[in-house]
């Protein structure tokens, strides 16, 4: 393998990790906008989505160029094929952060999250942000132990989503229909971020082992 070829492969992985860290920032900022009713932060998240789209295109272009010019095989072929799927997952995670920011913007100057469910939404946001950060490390290091850790965090996220629905559907819910719909959407957005993080981890597992995780 030539030095240039290896450099191209490494660059794709580095770019993927970079996109993941940009998504982490979007998730963190979207949550801040949501919990503080900061329309300016929400707008910043929404505007930043274009940068994620451009980064996705750059990764796709680089991967396709390697496929067409270098004809990679074995692990390198798995990296390129997986990279095309990973960058799609990352792009969708960014889109989900934007959805959170749009709810924040829609409800300003009122904080969208009622006090009764605020602790749960805060936990969901914390788990989501942590999972995105771990995903970047999984991409960087191709660490299968960390990839497995993501599954455990995903289980926590699933439980938090169930708890959100229990609170919203409980007889003592006083937040109204509009807030109930917002909470259902928000819990879904954070859960889907977690799901995409696990999907990326699965693709890294495929890169390393050539097999899909059981």
Write out pLDDT tens, residues 29-74: 999 999 999 999 999 999 999 999 999 999 999 999 998 888 888 8
Q: Residue 96: is its pLDDT beyond 60?
A: yes
Q: Which pLDDT band holds residue 214 (cuts at 50, 70, 90)?
A: low
**The predicted structure's pLDDT at residue 187:** 96
Q: Residue 84: is its pLDDT beyond 80?
A: yes
The token duo for 202 is 């699965």
Distances from the Cα of 109 to the Cαs of 163, 176, 177, 202, in angstroms?
27, 17, 19, 40
pTM: 0.94
Compute the mean pLDDT over every residue in the chain, rounded to the nearest whole number.
94
Domain chopping of the chain, boundaries: 3-209
Distance CA 14, CA 8 (A): 10
Q: Residue 2: is its pLDDT beyond 80?
A: no
Which burial class, exposed, middle or buried, applies to 188 when counting CB atoms under 10 A from its CB (0-12, 13-18, 19+)? Answer: middle
Q: Which pLDDT band holds residue 98 (cuts at 50, 70, 90)?
A: very high
Q: Considering the chain, what percentage of its residues have pLDDT values greater than 70?
A: 98
Phi (first) and psi of residue 167, to 5 degrees? -65, -45
**The predicted structure's pLDDT at residue 26:** 97
Q: Residue 167: is its pLDDT beyond 90?
A: no
CATH number assigned to the domain covering 3-209: 1.20.58.220
Distance CA 58, CA 41 (A): 26
- Top-confidence residue, 5 or 93: 93
Distance CA 26, CA 20 (A): 10
């Amino acid at each position: 393998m030539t030095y240039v070829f290896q450099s191209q492969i490494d660059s794709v992985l580095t770019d993927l990790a970079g996109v993941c860290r940009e998504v982490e920032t979007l998730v963190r900022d979207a949550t801040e906008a949501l919990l503080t009713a900061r329309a300016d932060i929400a707008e910043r998240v929404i505007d930043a989505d274009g940068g994620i789209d451009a980064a996705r295109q750059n990764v796709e272009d680089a991967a396709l160029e390697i496929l067409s010019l270098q004809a990679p095989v074995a692990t390198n072929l798995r990296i390129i094929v997986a990279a095309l799927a990973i960058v799609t997952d990352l792009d969708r995670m960014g889109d989900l952060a934007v959805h959170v920011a749009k709810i924040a913007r829609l409800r300003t100057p009122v904080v969208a999250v009622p006090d009764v469910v605020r602790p749960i939404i805060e936990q969901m946001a914390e788990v989501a942000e942590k999972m995105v950060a771990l995903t970047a490390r999984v991409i960087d290091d191709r660490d299968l132990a960390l990839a497995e850790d993501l599954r455990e965090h995903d289980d926590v996220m699933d439980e938090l989503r169930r708890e959100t629905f229990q609170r919203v559907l409980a007889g003592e819910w006083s937040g109204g229909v509009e807030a109930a719909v917002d909470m259902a959407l928000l819990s879904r957005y954070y859960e889907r971020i977690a799901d995409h993080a696990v999907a990326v981890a699965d693709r890294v597992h495929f890169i390393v082992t050539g097999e899909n995780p059981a």
